[in-house]
């Protein structure tokens, strides 16, 4: 999904699937979130719904919550049509696809992260291997690739013809400019899960900003920025312009606000407001978040309209509009909730 800088506006709020519908009357009650049946899975963007469903399927067939988060995110990574995650992701300014991902598991406060890995289509799985089979949290670039190969991953060409064409076009039109990454391509998947036992797990995977400088790493694989899980409190994940999420440690901040008692949605809103207040970019930060707490409440918010997220429980699955800072400044907070 490609959206313009000013903010994800054009993607209609009308896209609704499954059993969840947008309910304007819920907008006047931003602090009231119902708890839902578990497992509860939420993820960024409408395309996250198939990942959620895969995660639910994995749980239903006896898999662990880590299996569910990993296999769910693998669905997005394996989708060649998605140009910002996994295979088919848009490359850097040199035409090389460099992928970032991280995973966190509440019990044991475990984390694994991989940055700038090339020719491996499933970085979330590599991140999990780092978490489970090394003493480290992060591996980067060549070392990460070598580790992945040692764990049985295979190298392949992950630059699809479609992405290559987009890169060539970008290159032709931007010959004189210093490459800094296009913010028109940001559809990272962050997926959070509250399992039946009440434990939280999350993952995040991306090819990062399109046409970024080689070696650029965004927020997505950085624990506390693109993702944070605290098993006592809740979890948060991000999408949008990574540099702006990174500078404010947003996912960590959101979890801390939930610790102070805010609902997930209010915690997202407060984090955005705090970042926007001190940042010269203000409302142009272009950052979007999802969050879930230990009680099963969930929510999302972003600097602009148009950000949607997917929610799946054993009873329902669908796509919801997030609260938008532009609405918040104008009046009551937007939001949606399940009815079960
Ligand atoms: C990044 N945050 O690398 C990622 C991009 C993104 O949805 O979110 N895309 O900056």
Q: pLDDT tens digits, residue range 227-270? A: 999 999 999 999 999 999 999 999 999 999 999 999 999 999 99
* Residue 205 structure tokens: 């995977």
* Residue 321 structure tokens: 């509009």
166 CB-near residues (< 8 Å, 6+ apart):
83, 90, 210
pLDDT bin (cut points 50, 70, 90) of residue 340 is: very low
Q: For residue 217, which atom of ligand 1 is closest to its CA? A: 3
Ligand 1, atom 8: closest residue by C-alpha: 239
In angstroms, the CA 226 to CA 188 distance is: 10
Structure-model confidence comparison of residues 175 and 124, the more confident one: 124
Q: For residue 44, which atom of ligand 1 is closest to its CA? A: 7
Average pLDDT, the chain: 87
pTM of full prediction above 0.85: yes
pLDDT bin (cut points 50, 70, 90) of residue 2 is: very low
Domain 24-338 in CATH 3.60.20.30? The answer is: yes
User: Which whole number is the average pLDDT over 23-48?
Assistant: 66
Question: Is the pLDDT reported for residue 117 higher than 80?
Answer: yes
Structure-model confidence comparison of residues 37 and 212, the more confident one: 212
Q: For residue 100, which atom of ligand 1 is closest to its CA? A: 3
Q: Which residue has the tokens 């996994």?
A: 86
Q: Based on the residue annotation, tell me whether 201 is a catalytic residue of this protein.
A: no
Name all residues whose Cβ lies below 6 A of ligand 1. Answer: 84, 186-188, 206, 208-209, 218-220, 239-242
Ligand 1, atom 3: closest residue by C-alpha: 208
Catalytic hit among 160, 188, 201, 313: 188
In angstroms, the CA 318 to CA 323 distance is: 16
Q: How far is the CA of 228 from the centre of ligand 1 (A)?
A: 15
User: Which whole number is the average pLDDT over 283-290?
Assistant: 95
Listing from the earlier edge strand, what are the strands of the sheet with 287-293? 227-230, 234-240, 287-293, 298-302, 323-324
């Amino acid at each position: 999904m490609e959206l313009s800088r000013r903010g994800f506006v054009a993607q209609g709020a009308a896209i609704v699937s499954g059993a969840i519908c947008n309910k304007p009357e819920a907008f006047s009650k931003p602090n009231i979130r119902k708890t839902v049946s578990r497992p509860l899975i939420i993820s960024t963007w409408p395309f996250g719904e198939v990942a959620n469903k895969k995660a639910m399927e994995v749980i239903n067939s006896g898999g662990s919550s880590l299996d569910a988060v990993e296999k769910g995110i693998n669905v997005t990574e394996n989708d060649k049509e998605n140009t910002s995650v996994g295979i088919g992701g848009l490359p850097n300014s040199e035409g090389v696809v460099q992928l970032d991902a991280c995973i966190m598991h509440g019990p044991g406060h475990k984390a694994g992260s991989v940055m700038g890995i090339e020719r491996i289509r499933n970085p979330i799985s590599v991140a999990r291997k780092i978490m489970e089979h090394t003493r480290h949290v992060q591996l980067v670039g060549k070392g990460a690739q070598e580790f992945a190969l040692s764990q049985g991953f295979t190298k392949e060409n992950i630059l699809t013809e479609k992405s290559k064409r987009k890169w060539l076009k970008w290159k032709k039109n931007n010959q004189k400019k210093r490459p800094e990454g296009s913010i028109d391509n940001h559809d990272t998947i962050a997926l959070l899960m509250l399992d039946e036992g009440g434990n939280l797990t999350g993952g995040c995977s991306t090819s990062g900003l399109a046409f970024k400088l080689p070696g650029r790493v965004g927020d997505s694989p950085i624990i506390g920025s693109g993702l944070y899980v605290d098993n006592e409190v809740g979890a948060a994940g991000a999408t949008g312009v990574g540099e702006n999420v990174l500078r404010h440690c947003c996912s960590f901040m959101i979890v801390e606000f939930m610790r102070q008692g805010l609902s997930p949605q209010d915690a997202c809103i407060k984090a955005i407001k705090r970042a926007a207040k001190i940042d010269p970019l203000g409302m142009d930060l272009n950052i979007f978040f999802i969050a879930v707490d230990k009680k099963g409440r969930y929510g999302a918010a972003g600097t602009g309209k148009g950000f949607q997220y997917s929610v799946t429980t054993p009873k329902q699955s669908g796509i919801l509009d997030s609260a938008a800072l532009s609405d918040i400044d104008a009046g009551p907070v937007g939001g949606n909730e399940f009815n079960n």
